[in-house]
Structure 1
Amino acid sequence: MKKLSLIAVALLLAACNTVPNSGDANSKAAETAAAANAAAAAEAPAEPAAPKVVMVSDVELKSLAVQMQTRLDASNPLGPRDRYVLRLARLTAKLKTEDGLNLNFKPYRNPSLDATTSPDGSIRVYSGLMDTLNDPELLAMMGREISFVQNGSAMTRLRAAYQAFDGAKTVTTFSSALDNLSDADLQAIGEQVENNAFTEGAELEADDYSLVFLKQNHRDPRSLERAFRKLAVKSQRDKSAALLYPDAKSRADRVRDLLAVKK
C-alpha cells in the first residue's frame, strides 16, 4: 500500500508540472499582439505632413511687391520722350506723396482700359485707359488706385496671392522663399493678384476717396462720373472692358447722386 501511495503522489506531481502558467501565457500573447501591431504600423502609409503656415509681414510683402514691379517695368520699357511718359509725368508732377504715402507712376503701352496699384505705392496706367480719358478723368481713376494702397486693399490682395502661391511650396520661412523666387514665380504670383478682385466695399471706398482727391487737387469731382460714363460705353462694345468695369454705369449714377447731395 505504501508503494502504491508513493506512485500516486509522483503521478500527481507530474500532472501539476504539465499545467501551463496563466501569467506566462498572457505575457506571450501580449508580446505577439505588440509585434503584430508594430508590423502593421510599418506597412501603413505615412500620414501627410501638415501644411506649413508662413507668416508674412507687411514689410516683407512690400519687398515682394518691389520685386514684382521691377520685373513688370523691365518688360514694359518706354523711352523718356514717349508721349504717354510725358503726359503722365506732367499730370503727376505734384503727386510724389499722398497722405504720407510715397508714389511713383509709369505708363504701359497696353490697349487694356486698366490701371494697377501695388502696396509699395507703384501705380501703372495702361495706354488704353489714357487714350480713353482726358486728364481730369485720368486723375480720378488714379485717385481710386491710391485709395487701394491707403486702405490696405492692395496689401490684402497681395497677401492672399502669395499665400495661394505658397500653398504649393515647401518653405519654412518667407525670407528663404523670397530669396529664391524665379521670374516664373513672380509671374505666377502676379497672375494670382489679378485673379483676386477687390471687394465691393473697397471699390466704393475708392470712389469716395477719389472725389476728395480731385477736390484737393483742384479738379472737378464730376470727372469721376464722366470717366465711369465713358467706361460704361466702352464696356458695351468691348468684352475685356466689361470684365474690368461691369458696373460702370451704376457707379457713375452713385457718384452723381453723392455730388448732388453735397451741393
Structure 2
Amino acid sequence: MKKIFVILIVAASFGGVAHAQKFNLGKAASAASKGASALTFTNEDAVRLSKEAVEWMDANNEIAGPDNPYTKRLERLFGKHQTQDGLALNYKVYLVSDINAFACADGSVRVFSSLMDIMTDDELLSIIGHEIGHVKNEDTKDAMKNAYMAAAAMDAASASSDKVQALSESQLGEMANAMLGASHSRKQESQADEYAYHFMKQHDYNVVAAYRAFRKLSLLSSGGDKVSGFEKMLSSHPDSDKRAEEVKKKAQEEGLWEDPGTVALPTTPLTD
C-alpha cells in the first residue's frame, strides 16, 4: 500500500491495495512564501486552479468507484449536501493510507479512506464541515495562491508584473503538492472550527462529534493510542485537545453537551 505524504487537518485502506501518488513537499514548501502578496489573484483564479489541481490529484490517486463501500457511505452521509452556503460541492474518496480530507475553492471535497476507517458518521461530517469552512473563509484561496507561486517558481519581482498563467503537467503536480501541504493560521483554524460547529447545528447533527473527532486526532498525533492497521497521522493542526475543549465549552453553554465517555480509536475499520 502506498501513501500520500501530505500534512493537513485531518485526511490503511482495507480490502485491497491503494495506489497513490507520492508527494514531495520539500521544493514546494521552500518556494511557497516567495512574493505571495505581489501577484494579483482573484477568487476566479483560485477556483480555476483548484479545479486543475484536483483533476491532477484525481488522475494520480485511486478513487473509490460507485459501488465501493467507501463511496456508498460518503454518498449516504453527504449526498444531501450538493450545495452548502452557496458553494456547489462535488466529493470523492481516495483509497490511500493517509488520514486526511480537504476541500478546495472550486467546491471539490476529497475524503481519504483511512479517515473514514476511524471516524463515525457524525465525526466525518464535522471534519468535512471544517474543511468547507476554510473554503468559505477564503483560506483556501490564500493557500492556492501560495501553491501557484511555488509551482511557477515565482519570486516577488517576477510576480509583481505577471498574471496567473496556465501550468505544465509537472507544475500542476507541484501545485497540488503545495496546496495539500498548506497550513493555516491559528485564527483561520479557529474560524473553521466555528464554521464546522454551526454546520453541525444547522443540519441537526450532533455537535459533540466535533469534540470526539478532535480527541481522536489527538490520539493519533500523540501516538498515545497505537492501533494495528492504522497509520500515525502527521498533522499541521496542533492543540487538538484544546480545540476539543472549546467545542465542549460551547456545547455546554448551549445545552447541547452529552458526555461521550472515553474516546478511543477503533480496532477495526468503521467502513467495510
TM-score, normalization by structure 1: 0.73
Q: Does 1:59 align with 2:51?
A: no
Aligned residue for 2:53? 68
Query: CA–CA distance in 1 between the matches of 2:181 and 2:79?
Result: 31
Q: Does 1:166 align with 2:152?
A: yes
1:196 to 164, 182, 200: 182
Q: Which amino acid aligns with 1:58?
A: N
Query: CA–CA distance in 2 between the matches of 1:196 and 1:73?
Result: 19
Query: CA–CA distance in 2 between the matches of 1:214 and 1:61?
Result: 26
Which structure 1 segments of 5+ residues have no match? 1-50
Per-residue CA distance 1:57-99 (angstroms, 9 max, x = gap)? 2212211111111111122332211111111111111100111
Query: CA–CA distance in 2 between the matches of 1:164 and 1:210?
Result: 29
Distance of aligned partners of 1:156 and 1:245 in 2 relative to their CA distance in 1, 3 Å threshold: closer
Larger Rg: 1
Residue 247 of structure 2: SS of its match in structure 1? helix
Question: What number of residue pairs does the alignment pair up?
Answer: 209
Which structure 2 segments of 5+ residues have no match? 1-34, 256-272
Query: CA–CA distance in 1 between the matches of 2:40 and 2:234?
Result: 36
Deviation at 1:243, TM superposition (A): 2.7
Aligned residue for 2:253? 261
Per-residue CA distance 1:208-227 (angstroms, 9 max, x = gap)? 11111111111111110011
Deviation at 1:165, TM superposition (A): 3.2
Query: CA–CA distance in 2 between the matches of 1:164 and 1:184?
Result: 12
Instruction: Judge conservation of contact 2:183–2:236 (CA < 8 Å) in 1.
Output: no
1:234 to 191, 212, 220: 220
Higher relative contact order (CA 8 A, sep 6+): 2
TM-score, normalization by structure 2: 0.71
Distance of aligned partners of 1:240 and 1:184 in 2 relative to their CA distance in 1, 3 Å threshold: farther
Instruction: Judge conservation of contact 1:95–1:103 (CA < 8 Å) in 2.
Output: yes
Q: Which has the higher helix share?
A: 1
* RMSD, aligned α-carbons: 2.1
Query: CA–CA distance in 2 between the matches of 1:54 and 1:254?
Result: 37
Instruction: Judge conservation of contact 1:114–1:244 (CA < 8 Å) in 2.
Output: no
Distance of aligned partners of 1:100 and 1:168 in 2 relative to their CA distance in 1, 3 Å threshold: closer
Instruction: Judge conservation of contact 1:232–1:245 (CA < 8 Å) in 2.
Output: no
- Identity among equivalent pairs (%): 31
